Structure 1
Amino acid sequence: MTLQDHNIEKLDDTEASVGCNQHPSEPITPTIPPEGGLTGWLCVIGCSMCMFSTFGFLNAIGVFQTYYQLHELSHYTPSTISWIFALQLCLMWLPAPLFGRLLDTYGPTPVLIPCSVLCVFSLCMTSLCHKYYQIILAQGIGFGFGACGIFVAAFVCAGQWFEKRRGLALGIVTAGSSLGGVIFPIFVNILIDEVGFYGTVRYVALLIGILQVCACFLVRARMPREKWNKEAKWVDFTLFKNPAFALYTAGAFLVMWGLWAPFDYISSMALNHGFSNSLSIYLISLINAGSIPGRILPGHLADTIGYFNTMTIVCILTGLSIITLWVPFTYHSSHVGLIFFAVVYGFLSGAFISLMMPCCAKSGTLQTLGQRFGTFQSVIAISCLTGLPISGAILNGEGSGVGYLGLQIFSAVAMVGGGVVIGVARMGMAGWELGKRV
């Protein structure tokens, strides 16, 4: 067993993140997780609701991209419109260190309540917006910032109740985001003809509000609260002196650059190739349906062959799926082919999301884990902020709006390149012994 493996196993036994009813000044005395119990499993359900409401909604960005391109923002380019969703994705990561420390100090409820209110309020304001800058402020910045707090609370609290079954618990939690990505496009497509787009957005806000009210009652932390550490670093770029962490972060940056393009543009591409409006929207649901097993099964494989080994394979296969399954659709429109690509891509992209943070944890030692997470999230936020606008700018440059080849190649090269860089990080950690579990 390597030192890094020992540190990660030690983390499972000593993890102490966010609060229970002890005073912040009391020392933290970690205990063995109860492997769920009624409170723990109810917490998992509540956390899954949180992921449904946040990442699940963001996984349906293609519905909004397509609508804005065809209607409210039709005089803007796809690249300009994509900044709305790029900001959402960026803000899902950038404030995470802040919300993590707030959770450590005050517990989940004081974070969940205001963030839930902000998300619902932002969507209600989106339903009143008719100008680009208004949508940027409401849907891009407001919802993105609130969703980050909800996401952090859900991801942290669920894992505190489990040790042996933590993978299963977190798999259920993250599957909530995929389920949201399945439900929201269908929900929007059914309602939009009945009540219009802006009425539909208000119904989405109502659904998220109901789920978050339930989540605020269900999500509970097990570990004692910590004092606010004024000396703790939010981001520490000296950590990039560690080659494994530097290479892994660079690889993940590249993968995230290309990851979201199919989510955002597959629907509009399908419309341009003669798909019905309903089927083009349901492609987004199919991507997210494929990601449900993709978020669970590769985690079990990673337990057997290693997280970095699995991650390297997944990233390269994700990029290759674009070249072999999505690019041919540009030259020969096939309903079956595009549906098959949506399911395969959903599975592989879901695997990347589920393995991303565990690989970050394994890229260094326990002593720098908190700073490493914060630094990694800051870099990923930049990737999310720039990836979709770059894809949109490439699409703009192709002129007709029908040729998506440049966008597809950019996404594929970014993900394959990212997978290769992550593979180099793996080699740096374990050498050329390919059978070694890393």
Structure 2
Amino acid sequence: MSEKSLSIEALQGIDSASEDRHHLSCDEKTRATTPNDQETLDKQSFRKLVTHVSEAPDGGFRAWLVVFAVALVSFSTFGFVNSWGVFQAYYEEDLLRHLSPSTIAWIGSIQYALVYLPALATGRLFDLGYFKIPCFVASCVIVACTFLTAECTQYWQFFLAQGLGVGVGCGIIFSPTLVIVSHWFSKRRGLALSVAAIGTSCGSTVFPVAAQNLIPLIGFKWTVRVFGFILMATLGMANILLERRLPPRNVHGGLFNLKAFRNKAYTTYCISGIMTLLGLYTVLTYLSVSAVAIGVPKDFAFYLIAIANATSVFGRLLAGLMADKVGALNVMVPYTIVSGIMSFAWPFAKNESQLIAIAAIYGFSYGGYVSLFSAPVVAMGTMEDAGRRVGMFMSLIAFGGLAGPPISGAVRTATAGFVEAGYYAGKSINTRSLSER
């Protein structure tokens, strides 16, 4: 959808509450003006409101400072969650080695799902103006549960603290921040979202590398505590810098706006998002484990996740620059096709070099998709309802993130290898690509 059409929809989406705020002043001016003067005043008032709602600065110090704050949020939420593959490998070999890979994967999959699932509620709350307090409370929950993870010894403890606690905290913060970026950027929205998403790449790189180097030196407990201190600093700064531009709007409707699904493009996009997440996190979850299985040294296997997430920086930036020129969907389709192909190729890697190449290419393509996946949703309606619309989308695709890694783990266990798991992931991702073409 073009920016011009988006502006037209924004005009159409101005509700009666906005008109009521100007009704009194317009009536007062009507008493002292002619019909022609009244028409002029009405047009000027309408133009002021339209400028306030639809026009974004698309740059400037304050706008880019908000992008930096969103990058800190991405670092602390998706960046931390995307390092799950390191925990999966460590738990399989040490703390939870008596459990199956599929059972352990539920901790990570519940994290992935909960980053998206609360968006249904938080998106609606954001539209109504409730953001600062939920953001602060969720930040405290993430930090507290990270410190609690260091004290866990049993599976149910890890599931509650690392899976549920960290996941819910991340989910409360993540979705509204994507809408905040769209408050400040319109024509350059793709670039702004991609720059903000670099925080995810940085976090996904820093945490695995730190774990690899710190666990042998200070042990698992203190390594996780260091992560807690890092999150305390990054989330604290983000809470100070985050600021919405547009005022809250009480758009008609409840928590779940079924009318949005009358738009066939929106419905198709939601379905395709679920399919993508059914396979998207398989490679990131099992990459290190599969490397150890073919004889790659454990010390090096942990770095594969960091390599994938580091190369995603370039995928995110390039995707953002291209999206502003040719459209987000036109960029996302080839990116997801490459991700699917790499998922097929991953189980056939025989040595370190091949795994590095697959990790790098997969990270590049995966990063391009996740940096833009909210942009089409924002463009499928008015900005006043963007929080709820993005929230519904993210809550729906959460079910794909929840089921994907455990299904991959079950396939791996049943087939005693990773080949079928790779086929499963690749087919899920490429089914999404075909549905969008």
TM-score (norm 2): 0.85
Letter of the 2:401 counterpart: C
Structure 1 residue aligned with 2:371, among 354, 372, 391? 354
Partner of 2:82: 59
Structure 1 stretch displaced more, 190-199 or 234-243: 234-243
Structure 1 residue aligned with 2:128, among 79, 98, 105? 105
Partner of 2:42: none
Structure 1 residue aligned with 2:269, among 232, 243, 248? 248
Write out aligned runs for 1:249-398 (5 A): 249-323=270-344, 325-329=345-349, 333-362=350-379, 372-398=389-415
Partner of 2:100: 77
Aligned equivalents of 2:124, 2:385: Cα separation in 1: 15
Of structures 1 and 2, the larger Rg is shown by 2
Structure 1 pair 421–104 and aligned structure 2 pair: CA distance change class (3 A): closer
Letter of the 2:374 counterpart: M
If each structure's helix is expressed as a fraction of its own residues, which one has the higher value?
A: 2
Structure 1 pair 204–310 and aligned structure 2 pair: CA distance change class (3 A): same
Write out aligned runs for 1:198-217 (5 A): 198-217=221-240
Q: Is the 8 A contact 2:10 2:54 kept in 1?
A: no
Q: Give the drift of 1:281.
A: 0.8
Letter of the 2:308 counterpart: I
SS at the partner of 2:116? coil
Q: Give the drift of 1:368.
A: 7.2
Q: Is the 8 A contact 1:115 1:150 kept in 2?
A: yes
Q: Give the drift of 1:6.
A: 4.4
Q: Is the 8 A contact 1:299 1:355 kept in 2?
A: yes
Q: Which runs of 5+ in 1 are unaligned?
A: 17-24, 424-438
Q: Is the 8 A contact 1:311 1:355 kept in 2?
A: yes
Q: Percent identity?
A: 32
Q: Give the drift of 1:416.
A: 1.4
Q: Is the 8 A contact 1:120 1:208 kept in 2?
A: yes
Q: Give the drift of 1:243.
A: 3.4
Number of residue pairs matched by the alignment: 404
Partner of 2:424: 410
Aligned equivalents of 1:14, 1:365: Cα separation in 2: 8
Letter of the 2:365 counterpart: L
Q: Give the drift of 1:201.
A: 0.7
Q: Is the 8 A contact 1:237 1:375 kept in 2?
A: no
Q: Give the drift of 1:241.
A: 4.8
Partner of 1:219: 242
Structure 1 stretch displaced more, 338-347 or 161-170: 161-170
Show CA shifts across 1:373-429 (max 9, x none). Answer: 333222201111101110010011123xxx211111101111112211122xxxxxx
Structure 1 pair 38–418 and aligned structure 2 pair: CA distance change class (3 A): closer
Aligned equivalents of 2:185, 2:11: Cα separation in 1: 10
Partner of 2:195: 172
Q: Is the 8 A contact 2:146 2:161 kept in 1?
A: yes
Write out aligned runs for 1:146-165 (5 A): 146-165=169-188
Partner of 2:165: 142
Asked if residue 184 in structure 1 is aligned to residue 198 in structure 2, the reply is no
Letter of the 2:435 counterpart: V
Letter of the 2:426 counterpart: A
Structure 1 pair 285–388 and aligned structure 2 pair: CA distance change class (3 A): same
Q: Give the drift of 1:247.
A: 2.6
Structure 1 pair 315–367 and aligned structure 2 pair: CA distance change class (3 A): same
Partner of 1:22: none
Structure 1 pair 364–214 and aligned structure 2 pair: CA distance change class (3 A): closer
SS at the partner of 1:130? coil
Letter of the 2:331 counterpart: T
**Aligned residues: CA RMSD:** 2.6
